[in-house]
Structure 1
C-alpha cells in the first residue's frame, strides 16, 4: 500500500465483547497445549490431557491438518481457542528489560525501527498472560505483519500519520492507550517512563467486537522431524543478526530442550520471570527498506512488506533451510516456500521472526 491510501482514516472498531468470552479469558488466563513446553502465567508447565488429533490427512503441500491445533503454533490443543489474537507492541531497548509476558507469545516479530534499535510485535492467542510489556508505539510495518491475524493490536499510539495509515489499511482493532477506558492498561510505577505501560490482553478483548480466532500464520509439519530444516536443511547451531549495538541478537540451539535460546549483545535475553527467551523456530526474514512514506523521518526504518518478496532462513532443531517469502496486499498472508518451491514447514511450537535489512550481517555457525 502506498501514500495515496493515507488520506482517509477509519475509526477503530471498538465495542463490548460477548460476556462468555470475557468470563473465559478472565477466569482462565491461558490455554493448555499438549507438548508441555508452554507455561501459564505462573511459569509452571500446564497440565496436559489427551485430545484426538488427526495427523493422517496432511494438506496437499505436506503440511499437517490444522484441525484440533492452535492456529499460531500448530500445537495440539485441549480447549477451543475461540477468541481473537492480541498483538502487543513491546519495547526492546536495554532500559525496557526485563520484559513481562513475552514467554507466552505464539509469534514474535523483531522489527528494526531506527539505527541499532529494535521493537517487538508479540502475538498472543494460545496463551493470554495477565500483563505484557513494556508497551510502545506503532510503526507502519505493523500493518502488513499483523493484519493477517485480523485481531487486536495494543500500543501507546504513534505519530498522527502512522495512526492514520494503520487505521486506513490494516484489518485490525487498533486499541491504543488513548482509545480505551482508563485502567485498560496497567501503569507500573516501579518502571521509568516511557517503559512503564503494560497491556492486559483479557481486558482488551472485552473491548472489541471481534470474536473470530486468527487463521494459521505458518504451515506446520506434524513434528520436528518432518519440518523443512530437518527434512532438507544443513546443520546450524547459532545465528547472529547484526542489528547493531545492544540490539544485535544471537540465537543458539540447545540440544537438551530442543529449542533455540536468544541473547542480545551483552547477555542472555531474560524475561521478568527469569526465563531466557526461547523458540521452537527462528526465521530470519530479509526485506528491503520502504522509502514511500514522505512523512517518515530519515531515521525511521520501515520494511517493504506489501506487494513484495525476499529471502529467509528457517532455523529448527539444530538445522537451517533457505527459503523465500512473498506477500501481496496488507491483509493478505505471507507465502513461505523453500528455494525449490515447496511449502516451508515449521515444527509445531513458538516462532520468533527476526526482520533484517540488506547490509545487516547475518552469521551462522554449525558448531
Structure 2
C-alpha cells in the first residue's frame, strides 16, 4: 500500500510541475544543450540567439526617419529598434547593435533625453549627430558614453554626396566599435538584460494578427504584415514596404512590441518628454498573433508582462513602437 501511495504522489508532483505558469522558460534547458568542449554558449541579451559571451560594446545609433532619409541603411541588421516621436509627426529610430558588427548605418540624426534612458539601461554607447540641449547637457553631466558625429567624433562618420544634409550623415558599426575602444568607452563586462526568450514565444495566449496598423497621429502610420514562410513580420511605412537601402531587402522582425506611455510637448520646436521610466499597457505581436501585455521599465529595459510574469520573446529581432496615449493600434486575421 505504501508503495502505491508513494507512486501516486510522484505522479502528481510531475503533473503539477509540468503545468506551472503560462510561460515556461526553456532557456536553461537550451543552454545545457549548447555546452561545447570550448566552453558554454550563452544567449545574446538582445536577440536570445546563442553566442560566445564577451565584453564587446552595445551600440545605440540614432537613425533618421524623415521621408527624405528613407530608405535607411542598416536597420535590417539591428538586434533591437525602438521608434519614438521626435518633433511634430516624425519619429526617430534608436537602433541597437550587439550581435552583429560590420555594415553601414544611417542617416544618423540627433538624440533626445528619453533615448538616453534606453541607452543607459541597455549598456549602449550612443552614436548620434548632436542632440537637443537637454540631451547634450545630460551626456556631459552624467558622462554618458557617446560618439557625436558633429561634436568631437566626426572621424567615425561620413557625409554622402547622394543625399542632402541633414539626411546624409552615415557611419559603420565596425567604425563605431573602433571609436568606442579608442575613446575608452568599451565595457568591462558583457551586457546583461531581463528579457526572456523561448523558441515557442507566447503565441498560445494570442489572437490572430497577420496585419498590424499603428497610427502615431493623423499624419503618420506604420504597418506590419506577417509572412508565414519566414515566420517574420515585414515592415511598412506610410503604406509602402520599407527596405534596406544597401540590399533592397524588406525590413523584417520576429517580435513587435507596441507600448503606450505619456508624451508631453515641452518647447516651441515641438520637442517632447516621453515617459519610459514607469509602466503602461501595450501589445506583443509574434508569429501572426497578438498578446495584450503590461510593460515595465526594469533597469532601463522595457519588459513585457502578463499578470506580472515576464512574457518570452522569440529569439531574433525585436522592434518596439512607443505610442502616445492617443495613438492607435489595430490588427486583423
1:299 paired residue number = 270
Residues 1:113 and 2:86 aligned together: yes
2:35 paired residue number = none
Instruction: Return closer, same or farther for 1:356/1:181 CA change in 2, 3 Å cut-off.
Output: closer
Instruction: Return closer, same or farther for 1:129/1:68 CA change in 2, 3 Å cut-off.
Output: same
TM-score for the superposition, normalised by structure 1: 0.74
User: Relative to structure 2, which stretch is displaced further, 351-360 or 122-131?
Assistant: 122-131
* CA apart distance, 1:146: 2.0
User: Relative to structure 2, which stretch is displaced further, 175-184 or 82-91?
Assistant: 175-184
Instruction: Return closer, same or farther for 1:334/1:263 CA change in 2, 3 Å cut-off.
Output: closer
1:189 paired residue number = 161
Structure 1: distance between partners of 2:302 and 2:154:
36
Structure 2: distance between partners of 1:139 and 1:219:
28
Does structure 2 conserve the Cα–Cα contact (< 8 Å) formed by 1:285 and 1:355? yes
Query: Residues 272-351 of structure 1 correspond to what in structure 2 (within 5 A)?
Result: 272=245, 273-290=247-264, 296-297=267-268, 299-306=270-277, 308-327=278-297, 332-338=300-306, 340-351=307-318
1:73 paired residue number = 47
Shift >6 Å, 4+ stretches? none
Structure 2: distance between partners of 1:159 and 1:183:
22
Consecutive unaligned residues of structure 1, counting only runs of 5 or more, are: 1-59
Residues 1:269 and 2:232 aligned together: no
2:10 paired residue number = none
Structure 2: distance between partners of 1:135 and 1:266:
24
The SS at the match of 1:242 is strand
Q: Structure 1, residues 105-127: CA drift from partner, whole Å, max 9, x if none?
A: 00000111133211100000111
Number of aligned residues:
294
Structure 2: distance between partners of 1:341 and 1:102:
31
2:27 to 64, 67, 81: 64
Structure 1: distance between partners of 2:124 and 2:99:
13
Residues 1:154 and 2:127 aligned together: yes
Does structure 2 conserve the Cα–Cα contact (< 8 Å) formed by 1:81 and 1:125? no
* CA apart distance, 1:342: 1.8
2:65 paired residue number = 92
Q: Which has the larger radius of gyration?
A: 2
1:255 paired residue number = 228
Residues 1:363 and 2:326 aligned together: no
* CA apart distance, 1:181: 4.4
Structure 1: distance between partners of 2:94 and 2:243:
17
Does structure 1 conserve the Cα–Cα contact (< 8 Å) formed by 2:118 and 2:300? no
CA RMSD of aligned residues (A): 2.2
Structure 1: distance between partners of 2:116 and 2:264:
13
Consecutive unaligned residues of structure 2, counting only runs of 5 or more, are: 1-22, 32-40
2:18 paired residue number = none
* CA apart distance, 1:179: 4.0
The SS at the match of 1:282 is strand
